[in-house]
Chains A and B, each alone.
Chain A
Amino acid sequence: DIQMTQFPSTLSASVGDRVTITCRASQSISTWLAWFQQKPGQAPKLLIYKASSLQSGVSSRFSGSGSGTEFSLTISSLQPDDFATYYCQQYQSLYSFGQGTNLE
């Protein structure tokens, strides 16, 4: 099974900040990686797929990069609505999620 490790687990930031969340896979997953945003009481929302492709309707403030085993999600200028928990997920071999990053 492929293990996904995200860091940091908690990230403190302010409106207007540029933030980056990192995700590492236990083996190469090429670019078969997605990023999700989840708010309390809601289902996860897809932000990025194939490591860097922006899902339709998602703000261009979100961007993804990486390949192989190292990936990152960057939010260019934090808005109040961005404070949430973020998960990476590999889909190279079945599925597995990172443990999440709480952006507060």
Chain B
Amino acid sequence: QVQLRQWGAGLLKPSETLSLTCAVYGGSFSDNYWNWIRQPPGKGLEWIGEVDHSGGANYNSSLKTRVTISVDTSKNQFSLRLTSVTAADTAVYFCARGFKDGSIIQNRRVYYYYYMDVWGKGTTVTVSS
């Protein structure tokens, strides 16, 4: 059974860099995508970005200039860095597995689709001076 365990600093000052790590236990690390999602207090869910086992990443366009998601396959871990944080970055941050659902072939290219089936418990990050 796949489990995700996450950790990182919970209190930051404005302009600092948020850094979180998620470790994957069980299952295949290479067949899936690995995601970060956040939820501000009392609000909905916002996807931050994803990374695959080779380090290929995609990001939410609204955060792209400040986000880096990286992977360490030797430890089955992936990490989130968010620079220049402000109070608006205060949220619970979740990691989640993107599990391959299916694929289509279009214009001779194969497109794969992944849904998030396993989640970490979340890490509360507060940005305050």
Contacts and interface: CB of A to CB of B under 8 A. Distances in A.
Contact size range, B: 20 to 34
Interface stretch (A20-28, A73-81, A92-100): A92-100
B26 interface: no
A46 B97 CA distance: 11
Given A32-B101, A50-B102, A92-B113, A43 B45 contact: no
Q: Interface SS of chain B: helix, strand, loop or mixed?
A: strand
Contacts of B98: 91
A44 B45 contact: yes
Interface string A54-86: 010000000000000000000000000000000
A15 to B, nearest CB: 26
B116 interface: yes
Interface stretch (B11-19, B69-77, B80-88, B119-127): B119-127
Q: Interface SS of chain A: helix, strand, loop or mixed?
A: loop
B116 A46 contact: yes
Contacts of B117: 46, 49, 55
A89 B102 contact: no
Given A92-B113, A94-B47, A43 B35 contact: no
A91 B44 contact: no
A34 to B, nearest CB: 5
Interface of A: 1, 32, 34, 36, 38, 42-46, 49-50, 55, 87, 89, 91-92, 94-100
What are the 6 A-B residue pairs with the smallest beta carbon separation, nearest first?
A: A43-B119, A95-B47, A49-B115, A97-B45, A100-B44, A34-B115
Given A46-B117, A91-B114, A95-B116, 9 more contacts: A43-B94, A43-B96, A44-B45, A55-B117, A89-B115, A91-B116, A92-B113, A94-B60, A98-B44
